[in-house]
Amino acid sequence: MNNQLGIPILSILIFLPIAGAFVVALLNREKEGLIKGITLTVTIANFFISIPLFTSFDKTTAMMQFVEIAYWIPSWGVKYFLGIDGISVLFILLSTLLSILCVTISWHSVEKKVKEFYSAILLIEGSMIGVFCSLDLFLFYIFWEAMLIPMYLLIGVWGGPNRIYAAIKFFLYTLIGSLLMLLGIILLYIFGGRTFDVLEIMKVNYPFGLQMLLFWAFFAAFAVKVPMFPVHTWLPDAHTEAPTAGSVILAGILIKMGAYGFLRFSLPLFPEASLALSPAMMILSVIAIIYGGIICLGQTDLKRLIAYSSVSHMGFVTLGIFALNMQGIEGGILQMINHGIVTGALFLSVGVVYDRTHSRQIADYGGLATVMPVFSAFFMVFTLASVGLPGTNGFVGEFLILVGAFTASKPIAVFSATGIIIGAAYMLMLYQKVFFLEKSSKIMKIPDMDRRELLTLLPLLILVFWIGIYPNTFISFMDESVKALLERIYNSQMTNLDISNILEGKK
């Protein structure tokens, strides 16, 4: 473990936006320009502060980096313990980038309770980063739950007509799952040496029966967040009713926390249970891929279609993770980043046209390509990335996942590949209906994207091609950490030669 920068950079990334939220909350609500300006400044500053994590990261080790550790509640074995590795570093960068875009896209669309809205955005940013940095289960749980209230408010206060129903459903699903995880954390504390230190708990070999019990306790929280089939039903409602910024946070970061939880906790802490349940998890993933895609074919609401597509895309992520080989896990991690970029961009794009037409119904559009040609070009790129066109980021992630799945189970890989075909069908049909059919009266005179909207989408467009053309920039961060994870999973059951075969993808 090391901190190569010598400064508490992770603490700064967590608490700068939280401090900014309190400053914004103290301002006079009439000073909307100042509120927006401070929020934007804080999110931009946090993004630039996060860049050294990218440039100074040591890719040659699986050790935790930028570590900060202090005793917090010694009598309980609770530490303030932060650190990141190749699995978590990219999520922090994605969180700080998307937070800026959530502020800029909401600049003119949020008209009520502006102060409270931007305070909630900043609180969520700090909590998101805290989740990805925490190496103490007590601290992790605090950040995990801290996101719940501001996200509930984003949906319930600034959402659509059915926002109360969607917000309560989101709250109940995630709270119940989190409470079951809390019971699992308490059991780990009792059987893991009276400590919440993840790295210390990882050194304990738990009986298989206890591993199975703990796996399911953590699964309850992580599966809801992903969301995996069949606990996915909160997501379409939450996405549909949330404001644009809320949808971007949900799609870009929040649902990644479930898959991240599997990687950080379930797989390394319960390796034997993970191996035993891998086939079941892969089957659930394939069901989510196909089910989510088929449901998308019948959607009439833009946001609801993209929301169900998230169920399908995140099915690919969990498929890759539970393939339990190098290609699958790295593909799953990369696809989480890709999904945050592409689906976040699609929700931002829907926000652009919704601000002009105040309609999410696909039938209310048509011929948009002639009215908004620049916007149409951006949306086409994000559509092609969503369906995995070679040269875009979506292709690389899905390709690695399918290679990993094929190595683990050929029938499952074949079934999962049908999801790509279904995905192409519903996304291309969506593009045709919105951009190329007869013009709707609602869009006859609407303007193309302005400079603010263009600058909001441009970073995501660049990342689509950067990852699609040269993915090793990002994959190289993961290599050593994923190797260490696989060694942890297989170490108790295989020889060194067998482990080498796993690392080479010969499971």
Could you write out the DSSP letters of every residue in 180-202?
A: HHHHHHHHHHHHTTS--BHHHHT
Provide the β-strand partners of residue 80: 70
447 burial type by CB count under 10 A (0-12 exposed, 13-18 middle, 19+ buried): exposed
Decide if pLDDT at 419 tops 50. yes
**Whole-angstrom Cα distance, residue 303 to residue 27?**
33
CA dihedral 256, 46, 124, 475 (to 10 degrees): 0
**CB of 32 within 8 A of CB of 112?**
no
**15: part of which helix (H) or strand (E)?**
helix 9-26
Mean per-residue pLDDT over the chain, rounded = 89
Q: Is the pLDDT of residue 327 over 80?
A: yes
The pLDDT confidence band at residue 336, using thresholds 50, 70 and 90, is very high
Cβ-based burial of 451 (10 A; exposed 0-12, middle 13-18, buried ≥19): exposed
Task: Identify the weakest region by mean pLDDT among 11-25, 431-445, 479-493.
Answer: 431-445
Q: What is the mean pLDDT of residues 387-394?
A: 91
What's the average model confidence in pLDDT over 305-321? 92
- Residue ranges covered by each domain of the chain: 9-503
Nearest-angstrom CA–CA distance, 212 and 315: 22
The answer to whether 348 touches 457, Cβ cutoff 8 Å, is yes
Q: What is the identity of the amino acid at 280?
A: A
Phi/psi at 146 (5° precision): -60, -25
Q: What is the pTM of this model?
A: 0.91
Q: Is the pLDDT of residue 507 over 60?
A: no
Please state which of the ranges 218-232, 308-322, 333-347, 434-448 shows the lowest mean pLDDT.
Answer: 434-448
What is the C-alpha separation between 136 and 462, in angstroms, rounded? Answer: 35
Which DSSP letter does residue 362 get?
G
Contacting residues for 75 by C-beta, under 8 A, at least 6 apart: none
